[in-house]
Structure 1
Amino acid sequence: MAEAKRMPFWVIFGVYPVLLAFILWLYQQVYFLPVQIPPKFLSSKSTLELAIKCSAISTIPIFYLIIIVMLCRILTAAGNVLKEYQGIWFKVHSMCLQNTLEQNFLFAVNLIAIGAFEGLAPEKIVLVTGIYIVSRVLFYLGYIAAGYTGIPAFRSVWMMLTFVNNGFLLWINVKTIFKL
């Protein structure tokens, strides 16, 4: 893995806040803007059923990463779990898989709770799931780029999108539960 490079001051205090503000603005638009999803995607009888289906679909990135880690173990020296050095390819993918598992747990629990409380319109449930899956795919690509270049900004931008997505769902749950 490349040695981590120090990020310039202007990136930390200039680019990241602007990016976070843009992501928050985007979610404000998702929450308040009318979104039209084709009816075939909304054939569920209830929002809970739709949320469970979307939670199942959100595991696609996990399944892909499991296959990649499995192939790394089969095709490289990473198959020997007693060996200390298992290579950058394996380490990057296994760390990305671990993070995706953690984020998917937060996403699925909050999405199912939203479905149970009917805190979000069905169209928005589908949209938030799509944003989550895209953000995890981009996070994966950014994680690979960060692993090889040593520049953490490649993965942190997409991690921020996933974080805001999960925070958005948590905020809706808290708002619904406590009637804020």
Structure 2
Amino acid sequence: MDAEVGGTSAEEDYKPESWYKVKKGGKAVPMQREERQPEVSGAATQERPNHFKRAAGKKLAEKSVGKQHVRIPDGATRIILRPQGGLAPLTRLGAARLLYYVCKETGIFYGDARRDILSPNEALQTLLIATEDKKRAEKYQQIASITTEEGSKTEIKAHMTIPESRGKGVIHNVHLSVSDAEL
């Protein structure tokens, strides 16, 4: 039986072996024949593809949740705390208790510090504290260790990051007598 397409007749058993598809980059590749799916009951064929899509979606969601960072307001001062011995012993305490111990070491009132952002970064093994108050930022920068209720003491190195509005780079051949303000 012939079918009429666009004014010309086409045979019904026409095979598209001579058809090509264009991939990215403009490369033409012969089209493959579609593989025939084995005939199985309707419920079994629908379950399997959905299961794989669901599993792939869960993996993607886990990755995206793991990469999420806390939104830090513009103009906030960022202090990086780098605990010796890693971040794991401190993150087991939880964010609220960890902030309490940081406040205890620095002498900051806990009620004021609750407005600050404490964000652990497990990939870099650091804690980020972001605050809009300059006095609290200076106190956070002076922290040397954290002591928990159990008596375990963790040594910490703290430093303030460069503000986002400033350029980052290395300046060579600067004399030691030049202050930060002059730079």
Structure showing greater relative contact order (alpha-carbon pairs closer than 8 Å, 6 or more residues apart): 1
> TM-score, normalised on structure 2?
0.19
> Which has the larger strand fraction?
2
Please report the TM-score for the alignment, with normalisation by the length of structure 1.
0.19
Where is the helix percentage greater, Structure 1 or Structure 2? 1
Greater Rg by CA: 2
